[in-house]
A and B are shown apart, each in its own frame.
Chain A
């Protein structure tokens, strides 16, 4: 019946009432509340510089566009990892561990394997994907076969992965330099080719990441597997009843999600460095990778939609860059982590708030219209009923 109501595809009313639009406004609402809260925290911390600092959070990223895209790459991948699992109703909080494993596998191939320079970085990236897949596979197995909640499993594997990787790196003298307490520099041919923007490390990783996002969108929208995934997310029992292989899909989803996060780790560590002879390094100090948790924020802001996640990752990266610039005014970059956490908090119920606000506006402004509309629908229903009765 909905098709009949919208003769033109680009009817503005349909867009406003559509699901995509409402999740977009919900995201905006969450962002606005997060920023307001961040501003309040800044006022409490140091009132005199609050306006300047807040301004640099909002606009600072525009001065560092290359960096915004460079730092968006890993969180785009972890965001996809969280969002993809979310479509199936799985909360992949383990993106951090998968990210760390991916990074380690990429590093291992980068240091220990001797490959021709053209394909070395490609193999390293693929190795990162495999590492992440492995760390996604385990929670998937636990969930599908043993009924262990994936949230607990993936949290535990965040810790296990972090300790494991730090230990493996520290005990490998080729990778680890104990005097600097960091990993060694990777050679040039393992680094992802740079996009050549002056003064930033933005590289082909972002291009690959965006392409992966689009592929995921196609998989979710146009394939049987994507359909089964979403159906399971909506109603597990109905999907089971319809003959979909729930257990296999759970494992597959977690493996894919893990692979995505692992790619994020590989992109982060294999990024080129502007200084010749150096590279990105990793410091094994027993801290869980923050990029995995930022991926949760990215996925929620993009309402778990692959294309939405592409935009939200750029946004989060934008305010993160702004946050680093806010330190010029005496604030610490952690202010952005506060803002991100508040955004997640509000986006958990922004849809409901949004619906309430929308309802309020509709009842105030468009009372007549809605009444008329519902009446016509009721008439149509009645007509259909009579038709069926005949």
Chain B
């Protein structure tokens, strides 16, 4: 039972970045813009979030307050970085995949450049501890307590809160409906007075905000508050895209997909703690490949009948029919 609790406790901080970034990708793609650059946006948000933590960790601010402020910094910087994508993809009608790829390539180089010049290392190392040993009172509840309220991070609760907010925005507001229309049939949306360009900017910006937060939460929950230019976010931005496709571009299914992938990854990194798996004597690298292989298997089964937004990847041009 302890192993089970251990897996759950470690899985949630991993699932939250995947969830948030995949939700970001969902907003972007449902508005009609493919966002391959999520990996770069994550790293950008993580870098500035960690930079913020680095500068304030000496002050006597509460760790959880710092986390919230760092989250805001990451959200704003992620938003700014995503403007590069929306400018190229919406205003300039550029190829969205190429633009996204360039965003992914730019930021690790920038991080390495500046970290090497100013910190003499490959990234930023912070010494703030965001770990929550146990939430008072709630951690005493049997079963649920050890699963959700012990040895966790604040990021888990914020992530779940953002999931609820995103779902409401997506399904229950006028904005969400319009956004979805722009990804399915932008010309029809335009004909009833919706500004497609503005909606697409909004979609990409939301993905920037969520991507930045997701990146920072990755740095907090998975990397212990550190950011490294070499490893970056280890393909989490791409995994999030797979999560989004597996989740069929819908918030709640994305949540399920994120939990699935996070479980596989946690399993891969805690093989030595599980007697059953470590007794099999399989090289640990196989387990590290597991999330990526699982992605392929899942996509192979779900992509045949793709539910992708119809207009995604096609720059909107008013004068075309």
- A residues in contact (CB < 8 Å) with B: 41, 45-46, 91, 93, 142, 146-149, 151-153, 155-157, 159-160, 163-164, 166-167, 171, 286-287, 293, 296-297, 300, 330-332, 334-335, 337-338, 340-342, 344-345, 347-349, 352-353
Contact = CB atoms under 8 A, between A and B. Distances in A.
B241 interface: yes
Given A155-B238, A166-B285, 5 more contacts: A160-B292, A334-B110, A340-B105, A340-B109, A349-B94
A149 B306 CA distance: 10
B84 A148 contact: no
Contacts of B241: 152
A152 B302 CA distance: 13
B28 to A, nearest CB: 15
Given A342-B106, A352-B94, A153 B289 contact: no
A345 B103 contact: yes
A157 B299 CA distance: 13
A300 B99 CA distance: 11
A330 B98 CA distance: 31
B117 interface: yes
A295 B114 CA distance: 24
Given A45-B117, A337-B105, A152 B242 contact: yes
B88 A349 contact: yes
B18 interface: no
A171 B283 contact: yes
A296 B283 contact: no
Interface string B273-301: 00000000001011011001101100110
A386 to B, nearest CB: 30
Contacts of B293: 156, 160
Given A147-B303, A152-B245, A159 B94 contact: no
Given A156-B296, A345-B103, A334 B303 contact: no
Interface of B: 36, 84, 88, 92-95, 97-99, 101-103, 105-106, 108-110, 112-114, 116-117, 229-231, 235, 238, 241-242, 245, 283, 285-286, 288-289, 292-293, 295-296, 299-300, 303-304, 306
Contact of B112 (A41, A45, A155, A334): A334
Contact of A93 (B101, B114, B286): B101
Task: List 9 tightest A-B contacts by C-beta distance, closest first.
Answer: A337-B109, A349-B94, A341-B106, A344-B102, A345-B102, A167-B285, A349-B92, A341-B105, A348-B94
B288 A293 contact: no
A346 to B, nearest CB: 8
B131 to A, nearest CB: 26
B105 A45 contact: no
Contacts of B231: 286-287
A380 B125 CA distance: 71
A156 B289 CA distance: 9
B299 A45 contact: no
Contacts of A166: 285
Contacts of A46: 117
B296 A348 contact: no
B304 A147 contact: yes
Contacts of A293: 101, 105
Contacts of A167: 283, 285-286
A345 B88 contact: yes
A61 B245 CA distance: 44
Nearest to A349: B94
A342 B107 CA distance: 10
Contact of B238 (A147, A152, A352): A152
Nearest to A34: B102
A171 B285 CA distance: 11
Given A334-B109, A338-B109, A345-B106, A163 B97 contact: no
A335 B113 contact: yes
B115 to A, nearest CB: 9
Given A147-B306, A287-B230, A344-B98, A156 B105 contact: no
Contacts of B289: 159-160, 163-164
Contacts of B101: 93, 293, 296, 344
B242 A156 contact: yes
A163 B288 contact: yes
A157 B297 CA distance: 12
Given A167-B285, A334-B116, A153 B296 contact: yes
